[in-house]
Structure 1
Amino acid sequence: MIPFIIIVAFIPGLFWLFYFIKKDKYEPEPPLFIVYVFIAGMVAILPAGIIERFFHQLISNKYIYYIFIVGLSEEMVKFLAVRLTVFRNREFNEPIDGIVYSTTAALGFATVENILYMMTMGWKVIFVRAVFSTLGHIVFAALWGYPLYKSKKTGKKRYVVFGLFIAALMHGLYNIFIISAQLYGLLLAVAIIIILYCLMNRDIKKAEEESPYKK
């Protein structure tokens, strides 16, 4: 049963991974780098889990907990999965790379999270995890992925810092709306995903236009 759960949990991650790889059409990233970042994203769930568990009993305010602990810690560890692996490499050399690597780290993180949820909660969470949660991790990471390249190019950290803050905020609000288990909360959570997905696609198109390798 566990091997089957693992296989099922990988399917949405691999689907979206190939989707973003195809978007990097002018100067594709080395496949090995994609694997590195995906694995780093998988490993990143460990420190995030430790941080969340530690603060869970210490912070009663759900807004503070889900935005500044859950949202911020998860976006930070995904950011570090990119920052500590490929960020300084010369292959990180066009705007789309920031989105490709940030979403790759997010997919590694989401894949492990899907496995854990499916092992503890069963098959009833497959659809929600595969569609909304995986896509959520993607669109949150894209908020700092595109600015990450801009920060590297200009040397100004404020772009990625702002992106991380917005990602943590959106991530936290999404979680708050989901756990409310109210119709309005679920609708707001879905609205966040749809809006951020549209913004991500806008940034992808912008990044493609800005590629120095576009002929």
Structure 2
Amino acid sequence: MVSIIFASLAPSVALLCFFYLKDQYNSEPIGMVIRSFIYGVLIVFPVIVIQYAFQEEGLLLGPFLESFVLAALFEEFFKWFILYYIAYKHVQFNQHYDGIVYGVSVSLGFATMENVFYLLALGVEQAFFRALLPVSSHALFGVIMGYYLGKAKFSKKGKREKLKLLSFLIPWVLHGVFNYILHVQKYWIYFMLPFMFFLWYLALRKVKLANSKYFTNHSTEVKNI
């Protein structure tokens, strides 16, 4: 059991530290980051209950519905809900990059608990595969979700609702594509590798853009003093 918990936690901690340290200007309070992570852990339970109920009723079955609705829709919605109501509205959410930190934290909390269940069922030998694909993909979806929520928070009122919607829709679609590749492609590895490269490219670009937003805003404030 200890080995399973360690194997589940280690990749999440590594990824969280990576994105946390990418904040070039104003690191978030560790306590708030841990709190977001714990909320991410807790939302696994209602998601599992909902997914189990639909499966027992024979609803939302088939590769497309399972990929885009049963898994991606419910998981990304609960992560978005927690990120929005726990982090977005908090006073500590005061820079564009903060959305990425908290988005990754919530997502990796979810991925860690999900990983514990998978490794209990399938064995700790699955840990390397889980770290490379599901855990890292959850982190990257969190980056993208957090980027658009951060952008929404510091945008004009007219653009804010559209950006909030994008913060949910884009991770949902990407998550659905990720699941669908695993479901239906016989040679899934040939599709997954370029998709993961694309996810990393997109996420790191959002990291760079979010940091540049701070620099631009800070430079404007200095000029106005």
For Structure 1 versus Structure 2, the TM-score category normalised by the shorter chain is over 0.9
Contact 1:38–1:108 (8 Å) recurs in 2: yes
When structure 1 is superposed on structure 2, of 147-156 and 103-112 the one drifting more is: 147-156
Q: What is the TM-score of this pair, normalised by structure 2?
A: 0.88
Q: Deviations over 1:58-105 (max 9, x none)?
A: 123321232123101111111122222221122211111111110111
Counterpart contact for 1:143–1:164, Cα < 8 Å: no
Identity rate, percent: 26
Q: Tell me how far 1:178 sits from its aligned partner.
A: 1.3
1:173 aligned onto 2:177? yes
Aligned to 1:73: 74
RMSD: 1.7
**How many angstroms apart in 1 are the aligned matches of 2:144 and 2:151?**
12
Check the 8 A contact 1:36/1:85 in 2, yes or no: no
Once the two structures are overlaid, the 10-residue window that deviates more, 31-40 or 157-166, is: 157-166
Q: Using the TM superposition, give the Cα deviation of residue 152 of structure 1 relative to its aligned residue in structure 2, in angstroms.
A: 1.9
Shift of 1:189: 2.2
Structure 1 position 196 matched with structure 2 position 208: no
Compare 41-50 and 173-182 and name the one that shifted more: 173-182
Aligned 1:36-75 pairs, distance under 5 A: 36-56=35-55, 57-75=58-76
Instruction: Give the match for residue 186 of structure 2.
Output: 182
**1:123 paired residue number:** 124
Spell out, residue by residue over 1:138-189, the C-alpha distance to the aligned partner (whole angstroms, 9 max, x if none): 1122222111012222342211212311211111121121133621x22222
**Which shifted more, 73-82 or 34-43?**
73-82
1:203-214 residue pairs with structure 2 within 5 A? 203-211=206-214, 212-213=217-218
Q: Displacement of 1:36 after TM fit? A: 0.5
| Counterpart residue identity of residue 16, structure 1 | L
TM-score, scaled relative to structure 1 = 0.92
Q: Of 149, 163, 174, which aligns to 1:159?
A: 163
CA contact (8 A) 2:11 2:131 kept: yes
* CA–CA distance in structure 2, aligned partners of residues 213 and 187 of structure 1: 43
Pair 1:58–1:35, CA change in 2 (3 A): same
Map Cα deviations across residues 105-163 of structure 1 (whole Å, 9 max, x no partner): 11101111111111100023111101111111011222221110122223422112123
Q: In the alignment, what sits opposite 2:91?
A: 90
In structure 2, stretches of 5+ residues that fail to align are none
Question: Larger radius of gyration, structure 1 or 2?
Answer: 2
Q: Give the distance between the partners of 1:209 and 1:67, measured in 2 at CA.
A: 33
CA apart distance, 1:213: 4.6
**Amino acid in the other structure paired with 2:207:** I
